[in-house]
Chains A and B, each alone.
Chain A
């Protein structure tokens, strides 16, 4: 079991740091971290300093009696443990520390929030045989976990997991449909689509952070390939225009305006609520324990999103959701909320009958209908149901059932329960399809293990042997034990890469 080996390896590392012989290492690590608090952030210099320090320490580990006779894996674990330790300490200093990066994060996130409203797999050249939006939710979730971690490696693992899910789904689809095996022609478009739908928090900053602070010698080979894909996804998304999606300029603009109008309606509602669980976008203190369920819904995790004020007021139908006319809701708007809102607006209309002119059967009696009307009615009914179900899905409301018309009661669906339902609904079919084929392996980054872990020995050990008192006060303690489960889990990725080589020789 590689996993347990790695687990033990990191334990060994922590054990070694407790030993008197490790005192010099402990001192070096502390003074390196403290040295960071003395200057303003400078990504280039900081990144070089961290890379150099990690490389030097790894070389020193290798030469030190503490690791005498150790396997490469144990030395590797030691390096991983060190990277995680150092970067967790430095995180608040170096992550999204420049105003420009923060701005880019916001712009990218806003763009994704808009485009995800209308993008279709076809816009990105995803062939029908490879389309599987339900299962892609699983890949989206992996990506949305990225801010649950601080260590560069753990963030990278979220990206790799997402890519693995996509890859495996594509392989399954190609077998099921007798298509040629998938390659980058299939993979990249799906990764873009999944990323747009996931709208992972602070994507720009996360990618920069990984690139700068993931140990260079480990960001190689397959990990480097998938990381590059994620960077190219970011690049593609930030440059998306009508042409990139094979849309008419006017159609694209119309879609963007509709999306803005829709989101402005939603965000106004959200601003009226003071739900602390909505502060999910940033790396707030304690974000490590953030519940991924909250991220399931894009609409609910975009409270900060506002349309650009400079935009002219949209003239599309959705524009009737003008914030000024809205009732103020103390929850995420559900379909019924929107319905009630619409009903209120409708009651203010001067010529209501005009509005219903398109629907000839609305005021008909059963006796008026002829047999020829049945087909017509049935078609309309089907269209209506489809539209309703799609809208429900779009809003993240589960198990849509058509509420009574003109219902005055608001269905109480706060963000929490909506998300929960969405979560279970989305996960079940995926799990099944995965189990059936036994192909998709998700390297779970669940927090459960981590949460229940006891206090971390590293910090203790560092205090025990520590001679720099400044250190423990200035730098928040981290849970280095966390890295164990992460390490163990990501090792599952490694044998895969290994197998490729083995089988190919």
Chain B
């Protein structure tokens, strides 16, 4: 859910995509600014948070990774429930992963939060010679379905920050509702701020 207050926005972002498409590498690149050689021992493996300053607001992403294997597909609704944003990741060198991505898009469109900001990421864009999915094809698909599209590379960092910034910009800016407890402390607004309208 996206919660806001004092232009601080808390946004749950869910990562969907086939196993091996590079979901976790992408988010690690975004969160840590580096690929592979992360040494931070305390960092988690599947949940991350990262704050971005965008124009007039600060967006704190809470990033939920999901298991991409087909056998876990039916569990996904538990993860994307209440998400303000989703990145659907596929591997440009793997046609099957693109087909899976389309399935995710369809599912989110029918089951997800209607205000969810959706991004389609064609990852491993550095592996041009092995490309199987044309950028034009994905772009056209994204346009038809009202999501935005970028080719990314967790390896070279190409477009990684950009995709998160773009999502942050598109998040609906909800006016903070009056706080029921009647007091908002400036340093910890998020937890007590009222929820924005998201599905459950």
Contacts and interface: CB of A to CB of B under 8 A. Distances in A.
Interface of A: 55, 59, 62-63, 72, 124-125, 167-168, 170-171, 180-189, 217, 220-222, 225-226, 228-229, 231-232, 235-236, 239, 243-246, 438-439, 495-497, 499-501, 503-505
A170 B28 CA distance: 15
A220 B182 CA distance: 21
11 contacts: A182-B46, A188-B72, A225-B62, A226-B47, A228-B79, A239-B74, A500-B42, A501-B49, A503-B32, A504-B31, A505-B50
B18 to A, nearest CB: 9
B36 A125 contact: no
Contact of B27 (A62, A170, A183): A183
Contact of B43 (A185, A226, A500): A500
Contacts of A124: 71
A85 B181 CA distance: 22
Interface string B16-28: 0001100111011
Contact of A499 (B15, B43, B64): B43
Contact of B69 (A62, A125, A170, A180): A125
Contacts of B15: 184
User: Chain B interface residue count: which class?
Assistant: 35 or more
Contacts of A186: 45
B165 interface: no
Nearest to A170: B45
A232 B79 contact: yes
A235 B187 CA distance: 38
A7 B30 CA distance: 36
Contact of B45 (A182, A236, A496, A503): A182
B141 interface: no
B43 A217 contact: no
Given A59-B182, A500-B48, 12 more contacts: A72-B188, A171-B41, A182-B24, A183-B23, A184-B68, A185-B24, A496-B42, A499-B42, A501-B49, A501-B50, A504-B51, A505-B50
Given A220-B191, A501-B51, A504-B50, A184 B66 contact: yes
A59 to B, nearest CB: 4
A167 B46 contact: yes
Interface of B: 15, 19-20, 23-25, 27-28, 31-33, 36, 38, 40-51, 62, 64-69, 71-72, 74-75, 78-79, 181-183, 185, 187-188, 191-192
Contact of B47 (A222, A232, A245): A222
B78 A500 contact: no
Contact of A180 (B25, B32, B49): B25
Nearest to A243: B71
Contacts of B47: 222, 225-226
Nearest to B32: A504
Contacts of B182: 59
Contacts of A168: 41
Given A184-B23, A220-B191, A235 B75 contact: yes
Contacts of B24: 180-185
A496 B75 CA distance: 27
B63 to A, nearest CB: 9
B101 to A, nearest CB: 15
A438 B41 contact: yes
A185 B75 contact: no
A268 to B, nearest CB: 35
A225 B46 contact: yes
**Most chain-B CB neighbours within 10 Å: which of A221, A244, A504?**
A504
B155 to A, nearest CB: 11
Contacts of A505: 50-51
Contacts of B28: 181
Given A184-B66, A221-B49, A244 B71 contact: yes
Contact of B64 (A59, A170, A180, A225): A225
Contacts of A231: 78
Contacts of A439: 41
A131 B23 CA distance: 21
A503 B36 contact: no
Nearest to B20: A185
A167 B192 contact: no
Nearest to B179: A59
A147 to B, nearest CB: 24
A315 B137 CA distance: 56
Contacts of A183: 23-25, 27, 45-46, 65
Contacts of B36: 180-181
A244 B65 CA distance: 20
Q: Top 3 nearest A-B pairs by Cβ distance?
A: A183-B24, A184-B65, A188-B67
A229 B49 CA distance: 17
Contacts of B188: 72
Contacts of A180: 24-25, 36
Contacts of A185: 19-20, 23-24, 65, 67-69
B84 to A, nearest CB: 14
Nearest to A183: B24
**Most chain-B CB neighbours within 10 Å: which of A72, A124, A184, A226?**
A184
Nearest to A229: B46
A495 B42 CA distance: 9
A223 to B, nearest CB: 10
A187 B192 CA distance: 31
Contacts of B69: 125, 185, 189
A504 B46 CA distance: 15
Nearest to B75: A232
B47 to A, nearest CB: 4
Contact of A497 (B25, B49, B72): B49
A229 B45 CA distance: 13
B89 to A, nearest CB: 11
B78 A187 contact: no
Nearest to B47: A225
**Most chain-B CB neighbours within 10 Å: which of A185, A503, A504?**
A185
Contacts of A226: 47
A177 B81 CA distance: 35
A500 B187 CA distance: 18
A499 B62 CA distance: 14
Contact of B71 (A59, A125, A221, A503): A125
B49 A171 contact: no
